Structure 1
């Protein structure tokens, strides 16, 4: 009798340290209670998250494979060996949803190639939540990751994204290293057309959550400190 293949569960995590059940459904607890094999970005934070969701789960039973910038490509294929032996595996993001601005997408790709079922679970995505609250076009949008650090290149890219938003009625989203957030907002005010709408969404789902959409010229007078606060920037020129 052929052995049944396990599934790869994509398990969202919190965007901060709020209690798990404030932002995660009970299905997350059920899946974590049943899975011992995980693919994670950081062992310490993964163990802390698993314990917060499922405190009764024995930590010594956990098998954690690390997926980060130091992981070699040939290691990735072995991460799903447990699935081939009939065991389910959980893929944890460091924050938010696996595979969305996250290295987990590569694991999901390998799973599909090996006919392993990929099961996404419900949870918070800062990108989607920011877009939901922005008041901008949610029918057509693009996430652009980090913009160039070089001042000239960044200005050109912002102009390109602004034109793209107007020409295609497409909302443009991007992020910045948290300690450069305030400089990013200054650049948006200096580079974009005064009427271009800018949304800043930071600390999403936390008690300090801040989400505001205004024309670029109005942000010049805004008194908001984004330093070291995880933020999403969104622009759209009508």
Structure 2
């Protein structure tokens, strides 16, 4: 039996109107997303909300939705492939941005490859790449580290380590933080990094409130920082 195709469906980076949706998700992507009868998402409720926004060719209640998130046991991953193995095209959608990047879908994609299931990534916004594009930092060599340690001492230790790697390899270091701890991370960056180290903060990417600031630590200390509380943000540094 021919297997179905696993489509990696991008999501928006925040709420917005139809014009905002069209600006970040191309028409063919929205059309493909609306045709699928099977979905895998982090949360069934938000997956349905996404489908309502893009529009579907069938009633949403008829679309099969399975959940895959940080609480899903690794042993349950193979069960999520059942529709695909039965020949049903299925979409994998993230809560925001692209699936399988800073997202729990990566293991599912790996399992799909192992079972001979075709995987098709579709075009959409990645906050990591958008921030890198807009930062002015090194786009030839970069590394994404996800979340840094919550403990202040461990976070400072990690920042020093990343700055050292950046200086030695001339590599941009990229990381994120829980939105309500954004200011604490920025303060730690400015207190830890050398005056000449470049730091970029990109918040609310693709949204009307988008803010991107990129400057040396010494300049950050001279000028007011943007309000970052509870705003999804990407942090980047490049040591000279």
Task: Report the TM-score when normalising by structure 1.
Answer: 0.96
C-alpha deviation, 1:56, in angstroms: 5.1
Alignment of 1:109-128 (within 5 A): 109-128=110-129
C-alpha deviation, 1:139, in angstroms: 0.8
Partner deviation per Cα, 1:35-93 (whole Å, 9 max, x = no partner): 11100001111101101101553112111110112222222101111111111010000
- 2:148 alignment counterpart: 147
- 1:222 alignment counterpart: 224
Say if 1:58 and 1:183 are closer, same or farther in 2 by CA, change over 3 A.
Answer: same
SS in 2 for 1:39: strand
Unaligned runs of 5+ in 2: none
Say if 1:55 and 1:77 are closer, same or farther in 2 by CA, change over 3 A.
Answer: closer
Partner deviation per Cα, 1:138-176 (whole Å, 9 max, x = no partner): 111000111111222111111110111110011000011
Of 211-220 and 120-129, the range deviating more from structure 2: 211-220
Looking at structure 2, the residues matched to 209 and 38 of structure 1 have their Cα atoms a distance apart, in angstroms, of 30
- 2:133 alignment counterpart: 132
Query: Is contact 1:51–1:57 with CA below 8 Å preserved after alignment?
Result: no
Unaligned runs of 5+ in 1: none
- 2:165 alignment counterpart: 164
Partner deviation per Cα, 1:76-124 (whole Å, 9 max, x = no partner): 1011111111110100001000011000101100000000011000000
Say if 2:72 is the partner of 1:71: yes
C-alpha deviation, 1:125, in angstroms: 0.4
Looking at structure 2, the residues matched to 128 and 46 of structure 1 have their Cα atoms a distance apart, in angstroms, of 23
Say if 2:47 is the partner of 1:46: yes
Looking at structure 1, the residues matched to 44 and 92 of structure 2 have their Cα atoms a distance apart, in angstroms, of 12
Task: Report the TM-score when normalising by structure 2.
Answer: 0.95
Looking at structure 1, the residues matched to 126 and 78 of structure 2 have their Cα atoms a distance apart, in angstroms, of 26
Looking at structure 2, the residues matched to 126 and 155 of structure 1 have their Cα atoms a distance apart, in angstroms, of 24
- 1:237 alignment counterpart: 239
- 1:11 alignment counterpart: 9
RMSD over aligned CA atoms reads 1.1
